Structure 1
Amino acid sequence: MGYGSGQAVGGSVGAQESRCAVLLLLDTSEAMGRERIDRLNAALMQFKQALYADPETAKRVDIGIVSYGPVRTATDFVAAQSFYPPFLLTAADAPMGAAIEQGLALIRERKETYNDRGLSYYRPWLFLISAGAPSDDCQRAAEGIRDGEANKDFQFFAVGVEGSDMQALRQVSVRAPLTLKGQQFDQLFSWLSASIAAVVRSAPGDTVPLSNPTAGGGWAAA
């Protein structure tokens, strides 16, 4: 997985007004199971608290959530200081391709909103967590990710829980996907909140080195 911040683009307002959109794409298919979904829900609450506790992050970061199984926008983009996680439940299928496509559309809309308001913004993040094999075709989603990454429209990260179809994740993600160790969702979201905080404190255009989640007993395996 590559590390580094996106570049701020858009309006000419000061850096203190820049925004960073973070969209979570969360698998809620039956492959998650009761224990995993419970741990994910708990980790999302910790994520909220970490974002809210950091005033700089709370005012610059916008959070959205798309869950899939079925695909739905569980949380429209909202400022981190107003974010409250939805309570996720598991269902049957895992339409990952459709979820990614919906996520790409939401990112495009969010960037248009920033532009309309004259706000500068960091390159948005899409962060996918998968628990099993996708139940739909992901080719169009993969093409969208490749094009968007090449144009620096966003950064896409993929994480598979143990037992996930890692080959499917490798087909859609430009960055090598990581495997979550055990059920360490809390450590994953702790890393994510710290990474986002580092990005929004950077100067627009700077590359921000992020801690490697596979090193030193981190939450992920390559």
Structure 2
Amino acid sequence: MRDFLELRIDELADNPTARVPVCLVLDTSGSMVGGPIKELNNGIKFFFDSIKSDDIAKYAAEIAVVTFGESVEKILDFGFVEKQNVPMLRANGMTPMGQAVNLALDLLEQAKNQYSVAGVDYYQPWLVLMTDGAPTDDIASASQRATNLVNQKKLTIFPIGIGTGADLNVLSRFSPRNAPVRMKGVNFKAFFEWLSKSVAITSQSIPGANINLPPTSGWTL
């Protein structure tokens, strides 16, 4: 029986389109219970639906999802988006942000290695970090890893604070280039609409080229 890696390499080889790897690192702690987690689930569904409906992006985008709340979980690993189904996220627990970012960086590194083995080109990976609070674990290792990759131009991080309770100073430790932004309330759909358009624009460009992403007005404070 063939193992996962062999199947993954075959999947990549069957579709040689340059990939846009995006890892969503999402706060699902107890403070997200109720309206926030409901809107987050709606936003993620909108994001996947938008990518799947774009004739170019659906072959280029690869999305992974990591959540941090009661535990840190790999909800989705990188793969062909049309084969992915995102489960409903539930909110509970603390905010182990450092552990979640470390897992996300591991997944991105693994994906890049798989692209190299399969001979598939890829754009600079994206990591979207969203939280409505502050970490309850040590972020020193994760923030240093992320900062090093950003400074080496091997990673782009989009740090997003959800509402007024998010600690933007903490988020800035992960992102030496893109300053954290604060979302208006729980306007996840507008954010994921912006993200899907950004992925679509990137997928139509040449890897390594400078890309002008859409303005963030409409979902930021």
Residue 23 of structure 2 contacts residue 63 of structure 2 at CA under 8 Å; is this kept in 1?
yes
Give aligned pairs, total: 205
Alignment match, 2:76: 75
Could you tell which deviates more after superposition, 103-112 or 169-178? 169-178
Residue 17 of structure 2 contacts residue 121 of structure 2 at CA under 8 Å; is this kept in 1?
yes
User: What TM-score do you get using the length of structure 1 for normalisation?
Assistant: 0.89
Partner amino acid for 1:127? V
Alignment match, 2:18: 18
Alignment match, 2:115: 114
Residue 28 of structure 1 contacts residue 91 of structure 1 at CA under 8 Å; is this kept in 2?
yes
Show the 5 A alignment for 1:5-84: 17-69=17-69, 70-84=71-85
Residue 139 of structure 1 contacts residue 172 of structure 1 at CA under 8 Å; is this kept in 2?
no
Residue 51 of structure 1 contacts residue 81 of structure 1 at CA under 8 Å; is this kept in 2?
no
Quote the Cα distance in structure 2 between the aligned partners of 1:71 and 1:158.
18
Quote the Cα distance in structure 1 between the aligned partners of 2:101 and 2:108.
10
Structure 1: gaps spanning 5 or more residues: 1-12
Quote the Cα distance in structure 2 between the aligned partners of 1:98 and 1:40.
21
Report how far residue 171 of structure 1 moved: 2.0
Percent identity for Structure 1 against Structure 2: 32
Alignment match, 1:205: 208
Residue 157 of structure 2 contacts residue 174 of structure 2 at CA under 8 Å; is this kept in 1?
no
Structure 2: gaps spanning 5 or more residues: 1-12
Q: State the SS of the aligned residue for 2:206.
A: coil
Partner amino acid for 1:190? E
Quote the Cα distance in structure 2 between the aligned partners of 1:84 and 1:123.
24
Q: State the SS of the aligned residue for 1:190.
A: helix
Quote the Cα distance in structure 2 between the aligned partners of 1:186 and 1:82.
22
Alignment match, 1:141: 142
Which structure has the higher relative contact order (CA within 8 Å, separation 6+)?
Answer: 1
Report how far residue 92 of structure 1 moved: 1.1
Quote the Cα distance in structure 1 between the aligned partners of 2:206 and 2:167.
37
Report whether the alignment pairs 1:164 with 2:166: yes
Report how far residue 156 of structure 1 moved: 0.9
Quote the Cα distance in structure 1 between the aligned partners of 2:126 and 2:84.
16
CA RMSD of aligned residues (A): 1.5
Alignment match, 1:173: 175
Quote the Cα distance in structure 2 between the aligned partners of 1:169 and 1:60.
28
Quote the Cα distance in structure 1 between the aligned partners of 2:135 and 2:213.
29
Q: State the SS of the aligned residue for 2:31.
A: coil
User: Where has structure 1 moved over 6 Å in runs of 4 or more?
Assistant: none
Partner amino acid for 1:198? I
Q: State the SS of the aligned residue for 1:22.
A: strand
1:125-178 CA-partner distances (Å, limit 9, x unpaired)? 100111111000111111111110111211111101111112211222222100
Residue 179 of structure 1 contacts residue 220 of structure 1 at CA under 8 Å; is this kept in 2?
yes
Alignment match, 1:129: 130
Quote the Cα distance in structure 2 between the aligned partners of 1:204 and 1:64.
20
Quote the Cα distance in structure 1 between the aligned partners of 2:170 and 2:56.
36
1:169-191 CA-partner distances (Å, limit 9, x unpaired)? 12222221000101110000000
Residue 127 of structure 2 contacts residue 156 of structure 2 at CA under 8 Å; is this kept in 1?
yes
Quote the Cα distance in structure 1 between the aligned partners of 2:166 and 2:107.
25
